[in-house]
Amino acid sequence: MYTAGVPLMSCVIETQSLSKSYGGFRALDQVDLRIKPGTIGLLGPNGAGKSTLIKCLLQLHDKDGGKASLLGQDIDLHGRETRKRIGYAPEQDCHIPGMLGCEYVTYCAQLSGMPFSVARQRAHEMLDFVGMEQERYRKVDTYSTGMKQRVKIAQALVHDPELVFLDEPTNGLDPKGQALVLDLIEKIWKESGISVVLSSHLLHDVERVCEQVVIISKGRILVQDTLESLKAKRKPEAEIVTSEEASVLEALFDREGWTSEVLSNGNVKVLHGQATLNPLIRILAREGISPLEIKECPNALNELFIQALGNGEKGAA
């Protein structure tokens, strides 16, 4: 966790009833958010509204209604000045044709208000930081997907922002490339105190590096909480795979006052109401029942993500 001498503000992102439509399609529907500094995972299926939310916050797209502030400043009043303190690595390729990697990052630094000599030095530092070597002297047009992702992250960080939006930064990368980029994202917050918003449709990516999670589906926020809290939350339910007669288990759970049902696959689902599985295991042991497997109910993060995916599929249908 970041502990250096940079003051932390209460909220890096704040929105009230933020809305955006494309024709008849509501891409953002009354989005209310209050996000504290840190690593934030913006999770949702494709088309959920993640990129639209980022683009509205950065004023790349005009919002239809609502209010938004970044780093404590209203984007409508201080858009340009706010963006000076923000970095953004978009999902798609966005390089300037004909520019070398180091030229491109230097140019981006200058566009953000750095004098040329500082920008050039800083560009090389950032290219080092993202692990680019001699490739920086090649034209960006010739880069592989992994290099393009890294150079995008470098240009997003080069002007030393306080908040960075990374839109699907692991897209198109092989597992090694994904791991490298995720490590980098983790370092950004831990070493520098720059808040990172990681937009992704991959639960694994968000689980690995984020402290806070925002799950979005069909333009609505399903949940906003810390990863820890979401992982801790789960229904007090379990699914028992057993070779015993299901009726024996049902009778046992009835005696304990727990509700149970036999599933179509022959397993028994029980609502035990306990914080852990230990009481259930003890009861089964006491009765001499050896289950083949006890499946814990998925945690809230998984459940909500699956729900979001379901919504996305319904929307697509």
Contact characters 32-61, other proteins, x per CB under 8 A: -----------------------x--xxxx
Q: For 36, phi and psi rounded to 5 degrees? A: -85, 160
Asked if residues 106 and 119 have their Cβ atoms less than 8 Å apart, the reply is: yes
Contact call for residue 284 and other proteins (CB under 8 A): no
Contact call for residue 81 and other proteins (CB under 8 A): yes
Among 65, 72, 113, 310, binds other proteins (CB under 8 A): 113
Nearer to other proteins, 80 or 176 (CB): 80
Contact call for residue 63 and other proteins (CB under 8 A): no
CA distance 113 to 119: 9
Smallest distance from other proteins to CB 36, Å: 21
3-state secondary structure of 202: coil
Edge-to-edge strand order for the sheet containing 237-241?
259-262, 268-271, 237-241, 293-296
Nearer to other proteins, 69 or 155 (CB): 155
What residues numbered 144-183 form the site for other proteins, per CB under 8 A?
Answer: 155, 157, 159-160
Among 26, 95, 233, 295, binds other proteins (CB under 8 A): 95
CA distance 48 to 31: 12
Contact call for residue 129 and other proteins (CB under 8 A): yes
CA distance 315 to 317: 5
Closest CA to 161 of 188, 136, 182: 188
Q: Which stretch binds other proteins (CB under 8 A): 39-47, 75-83, 217-225, 286-294?
A: 75-83
Among 24, 115, 257, 288, binds other proteins (CB under 8 A): 115
Contact call for residue 208 and other proteins (CB under 8 A): no
Among 28, 114, 151, 300, binds other proteins (CB under 8 A): 114
Nearer to other proteins, 121 or 290 (CB): 121
CA distance 123 to 131: 12
Give 12's DSSP letter: S
Smallest distance from other proteins to CB 107, Å: 6
Smallest distance from other proteins to CB 148, Å: 12
- Tell me how far CA of residue 89 lies from CA of 59, 105, 148, 217, in angstroms: 14, 12, 10, 22
CA distance 83 to 156: 11
Cβ neighbour number for residue 53 with a 10 Å cutoff: 30
Kindly list the residues in this chain that would bind other proteins in the complex (CB under 8 A).
Answer: 6, 55, 58-61, 79-81, 83-84, 86, 88, 90, 92-98, 107-108, 110-115, 118, 122, 124-125, 128-129, 131, 155, 157, 159-160, 187-188, 191-192, 194
